[in-house]
Every structure is written in structure tokens, then in C-alpha cells.
Structure 1
């Protein structure tokens, strides 16, 4: 079987022959996901106004320790340093948040939106060589399986 080798010209960052608005999808993902990250970080760090009656914010559930009636082990422990921020959400959000952040499903969307790697199909990349998940920050994606185990614990707790 014969093969044909074709040399494709290397394009600079953002250069393309595409006529469509290829940049709208990464931009919308960046704005939407970025807004959610800012909001959820604010909601987790505020540490107040997260329950009303029998309702509790999903960012704070399950509440291990805290001031609401939903708390499993009562209020904030006395040994907690006064200078260190206390929020019940920070005790639990890191496990499911780490799982979501390293999730394979989201990678294609936020690689394009936050790192422009690649920005879109047939659009020039910011680097000359593809490094994949062998260098920072993408090497952090390799901890996905460990966050899965932690997230599964929360599924058992919440069901």
C-alpha cells in the first residue's frame, strides 16, 4: 500500500482559514464556567447565610460541623484558630470539586476556554509543540482517579 506525505503549514496562535465564529464557544465556556467558579468560591468562603429552615445550600451539604441545625457534629470546634477562616463548605467541597475539575468530560471545554490548547479545530496553538498532560498545570489531571474515590464516599454519605 502506498502512502502520501503532505506538509501542512504551521499556523501562528489564532490563525485559521475558518470563516465561522469558532471563538464563540470557548468564550462562552470561559465566561460561564469562570462566573460559576467565582460565585462558588465566594459562596464557600462566606460561611454564613447558607441555610434557611429545613433547606441547606448544596455547597455546604453534608454539613459536618457548623452553626446550622443540619450540622452532624455541632458548632465549630473550640480548638479552631480564630485567625483561620472557618466555613463548613471548605471541609467538603475540595473532594467533589477536585473530581469535577479533573473530569474527562470537561477537559475539552476548559482546555479550549482557559488554556487555548487547542483553541478550536484547525486553529493555530499558542505553543510550537504539544506537551499534553506531562507538564504543569495539565499534569494535575492525573489525580482524577483519586478524587473519584473521594467523591464516591460523598455519594454514599448523601444517599
Structure 2
């Protein structure tokens, strides 16, 4: 029978050699599968998006090709926005804003994703190794949870949800405008229109499947029978919530692809294929 250590660990956690309640083995864990593959893919995918989104956000150019506008730059509220005749740009910030207009509101959906329950799990495991996988001990000797900066900001997730939902409404308006041609006549549908429709569908799916949205709709109710409409909505959102991870990745990918497509049109890499 394996001997056990009886020493007490000052951090109060078991899971590594020399800690209370753990067999006296040298290995940090006994997993022989590729447990590291998931966190590695997560880190690579999130870093790729961060690098691309940072480049596009600071580029301050090539984000509009009639009738399409990049989701990174909408709403465009600075006076230095590219000319988007008939589009959703209102110079509410005036001439004093000299930076990229994408930086005005891009932090809101970014904050929504950073504080999202799924993304917390992803970057906790992938970037901080807290823990990197089930059955694998943390690399940290101390854990303070979400009680200190910067992780305490995660408690503002619900407020980021409100802001992101408002931006999703604006992106929906942008999507409707993609059914116009370059002369702003209705009845147009190009490949960019298809991408915009797919993107906003996934964005709404991710937003509506959020745990905060589920709680807002069905929380604080004593009996569902007295609120049949909210109960049906809560049931629908609960089903979406089970696909929150898939919707998170799908919407992240669609946002990047939609922006890339608008960028390629703006630099005249090719013309938008018209479907009708």
C-alpha cells in the first residue's frame, strides 16, 4: 500500500508531492493523455484573434466598402470616420477624437467576452494554468479568486452584457443596410450580405446564450406558471446556454472573417460577388 505524506501545506490545497492527503509520488499527475492539447489550442486561437483585432482596431482605415461596414468599427461616432453615406455614422464625438474610431466602443464587447463564464474558464486554464486541466494541479501556490484586481472586474459581466446587447442591435441595423447596393437602392444581396447575416445571427446567439441573459429573463421569479412568456423565453435561452461554448467560438470567428472581408473589399482585392 502506498505511503502518504502527513505534512501540512501552507496554501491549504492538495494535489502535489508533499501535500497532505496525496500519495508520495514524484509526478505532478498521472494523466497519460494529451491533456495539454486543449489549453494549447485555446491559447493559440485567442492570441491569433487578439493580434488580428488589435491590428484592425488601430489601423483606422479600410473598414467600409459600400454597403458594408466592419463590425469592429460600428457604431462609428467620431468625426474622423470614413465617409459612409447613408450608413450608421454619427459624429457625436466631434473633432477632438484623433484615434481610431474603433477604440470608442470596441472595449465593451471585448469586456463582455473577457468576463464571460466560458472565456474565464478558457483563459484561466490556457494562460494561467489555473488549473490547466482536470487532474492536473495548479502552478500557483496561492489563489485569491475574483476578489482582487484585475479579476474582480469579472463581477461587472452583467453590465457588459447590456452594452454588448445594445451594440448587437446596431450591428443588426448594419446588416439590414447590406441589402442595398452601392447606390443605396434596396434589393441587393452580395456575398458580404450573407456573411453579415451569418455574423449577426451568431453574435445574437452568443449574446442570448449568456448566463446573465438567462438570469435576467428567468431570475427572481417565484413561480414560472405565473409568468408563461418569461418561462418560454427562459426555456429557449437555457437551450442556447448549452451551446454557449460553440457559439462563443463561432461568433468570434465570424466577427474576424466579416471584418477581413470588408477590408479586402476596401483595398480592392476583389469585387463583392452579387447574388441578386
Q: Same fold (TM over 0.5)?
A: yes
Question: What CA RMSD, in Å, does the superposition of the two structures yield over aligned residues?
Answer: 2.4
Q: Name the CA distance, whole Å, in 1 between partners of 2:96 and 2:34.
A: 56
Tell me whether 1:142 sits opposite 2:155 in the alignment: yes
Rg: which structure is higher? 2
Q: CA deviation at 1:10?
A: 3.1
> 1:78 aligns to what?
95
> 1:67 aligns to what?
82
Aligned residues: 148
Tell me whether 1:114 sits opposite 2:157 in the alignment: no
Q: Name the CA distance, whole Å, in 2 between partners of 1:31 and 1:77.
A: 38
Q: Name the CA distance, whole Å, in 1 between partners of 2:69 and 2:31.
A: 47
What does 1:1-159 correspond to in 2, within 5 Å? Answer: 10-11=15-16, 15-65=28-78, 66-69=81-84, 70-74=87-91, 77-80=94-97, 85-159=98-172
More helix by share: 2
> 2:270 aligns to what?
none
Map Cα deviations across residues 107-126 of structure 1 (whole Å, 9 max, x no partner): 11111011111111111211
| Higher mean C-alpha deviation, range 108-117 or range 125-134 | 125-134
Q: CA deviation at 1:74?
A: 4.8
Q: Name the CA distance, whole Å, in 1 between partners of 2:125 and 2:57.
A: 27
Task: Note closer, same or farther for the CA distance 1:11–1:79 as it changes in structure 2 (3 Å cut).
Answer: same
> 2:229 aligns to what?
none
Structure with the bigger RCO (C-alpha within 8 Å, sep 6+) is 1
Q: Which runs of 5+ in 2 are unaligned?
A: 1-5, 7-12, 18-26, 173-276
Q: Which runs of 5+ in 1 are unaligned?
A: 1-6
Q: Name the CA distance, whole Å, in 2 between partners of 1:86 and 1:129.
A: 40
CA contact (8 A) 1:60 1:89 kept: yes
Q: Name the CA distance, whole Å, in 1 between partners of 2:77 and 2:94.
A: 11
Q: Name the CA distance, whole Å, in 2 between partners of 1:15 and 1:147.
A: 38
Q: Name the CA distance, whole Å, in 2 between partners of 1:104 and 1:38.
A: 22
